[in-house]
Amino acid sequence: MEIFGILPDGRAVGRYRLEAAGGIAVDILTLGGIIQRVFAPGRDGHAADVALGFDNLAAYLANPAYLGALIGRCAGRIGNGRVDIDGVTYLLSRNSGRETLHGGADGFHKALWTVEAAAPDRLHLSLESPDGDQGFPGLLRVDAVYSLSAEAGLRLDVEATTSRPTIVALTSHAYWNLAGDGAGDVLDHDLRVEADTFTPVNARFLPTGEVRSVDGTPFDFRSPAPLRARVADLGDAQIALAAGIDHNFVLRGDPERPLARAARLADPASGRVLEVFTTEPGLQVYTGNAMQNGPAGKPGRPYPRWGGVALEPQPFPDAPHQAAFPSILLRPGEVYKSSTAFRLSVSPS
């Protein structure tokens, strides 16, 4: 462990490294449980950092794009910053116009997580979110375990319990550029998503409630497709609205394999491949449509538009206001569980 920086209140932010055979290494911060760096070899044997992030604490405290962070209590947007649970209305932190985004202004991405255990291939973090944190009811205890191996890749296992009925939807907001951090945009990456449908959004980026087929749309990634043509398809109203992709895909899932493949991202030039496996029902794909507005990243300059792609396994956004979406309600005595694995490999050609 090394000290990454000191918070304004004097607490230290630690950086822990996980390592696995094959030259894969991951650096994780105790601030926000952030994945700061991921080193992976390419076809030429050269290891590059393929995760976007910052080299200084100040940028992470601002972190307008949530680079690498654990998101909570609720990933995605909650309409009108309010939720009704058992007949009681709770007003939440509104940090995106009228909406609550990624847990509110001071969500889990800004929290200093406690290290419960650390090993060369495993890091166990915990967080206690008090009753009323960002307006959410209940004392929420969260345990997040990162583990790394050459076979399973970087795995994140999360559990949560609550003292009162509340809503929970946790995810990792890592951004990937398999050509290497600072190598430009990801438009020449090929993406495959295991989804036949997606959830369109309105002008406030809230799901309309419709579950739409990807057939005949730029959201059809059932076969690998370069991102370039899809994010540039401004003839599609949903693409034009987001200036790219910022949408939830409804994963097919596999009852025989709870940790099912959700996506495959590949950089043809370097040969690096990232496969995402998850227990979650949805995958939010965000192509970094506004990244050029952020602070300087690790390369020493702001990332360009489409400089990385976030693949966020999670429940559907705004689920409390969409009765047809899977519920994210958690009650006392229940245990929220979520698992995701990011597996890196090299394509021979």
What is the per-residue pLDDT for 98? 97
Spatial separation of the C-alpha atoms in residues 297 and 63, rounded to whole Å: 10
What is the per-residue pLDDT for 287? 97
Both tokens of residue 18? 């996980």
Per residue in 109-150, pLDDT tens?
999 999 999 999 999 999 999 999 999 999 999 999 999 998
What is the per-residue pLDDT for 64? 73
What is the per-residue pLDDT for 160? 98
Spatial separation of the C-alpha atoms in residues 227 and 70, rounded to whole Å: 25
159 carries an active-site annotation: no
151 carries an active-site annotation: no
What is the per-residue pLDDT for 209? 97
CA 106 distance to own-chain centroid: 17
Residue 1, C-beta contacts closer than 8 angstroms, at least 6 positions apart: 14, 15, 16, 115, 118
Q: Coil, strand, or helix at residue 253?
A: coil
In this structure, are strands 82-85 and 88-91 parallel, antiparallel, or unpaired? antiparallel
Amino acid identity at 11: R
What is the per-residue pLDDT for 348? 82
Q: Match 């583990």 to its residue by tokens.
A: 147
Q: Which of these is catalytic: 102, 173, 189, 247?
A: 173
Amino acid identity at 256: E
What is the per-residue pLDDT for 199? 98
Q: Are 283 and 214 in contact (CB under 8 A)?
A: no
Spatial separation of the C-alpha atoms in residues 92 and 82, rounded to whole Å: 5
Cis peptide upstream of residue 73 (ω within 30 degrees of 0): yes
Helix (H) or strand (E) holding 330: strand 329-330
172 - beta bridge partners? Answer: 70
Q: To the nearest 5 percent, what fractions of the chain are helix, strand and coil?
A: 10, 45, 45
Spatial separation of the C-alpha atoms in residues 86 and 164, rounded to whole Å: 11
Spatial separation of the C-alpha atoms in residues 279 and 206, rounded to whole Å: 23
What angle is formed at CA 20 by the lines to CA 181 and CA 253, rounded to 5 degrees? 75
In the sheet that holds 190-193, the strands lie side by side as 114-119, 122-129, 140-149, 153-162, 336-346, 272-278, 260-266, 190-193, 225-226
Pick the CATH number of 2-346 from 3.40.50.280, 2.70.98.10, 3.30.565.10, 3.40.50.620: 2.70.98.10
What is the per-residue pLDDT for 319? 98
What is the per-residue pLDDT for 200? 98
Q: Match 């495993």 to its residue by tokens.
A: 122
Per residue in 287-327, pLDDT tens?
999 888 778 899 888 899 999 999 999 999 999 999 999 99
Q: Are 189 and 265 in contact (CB under 8 A)?
A: yes
Give average pLDDT by consecutive 10-residue segment, the chain, 349 residues. 97 98 96 98 95 95 89 98 98 97 97 98 98 98 97 96 98 97 94 98 97 98 96 93 97 83 97 97 96 85 94 98 97 98 92
What is the per-residue pLDDT for 110? 95
What is the per-residue pLDDT for 146? 98
Q: Coil, strand, or helix at residue 83?
A: strand
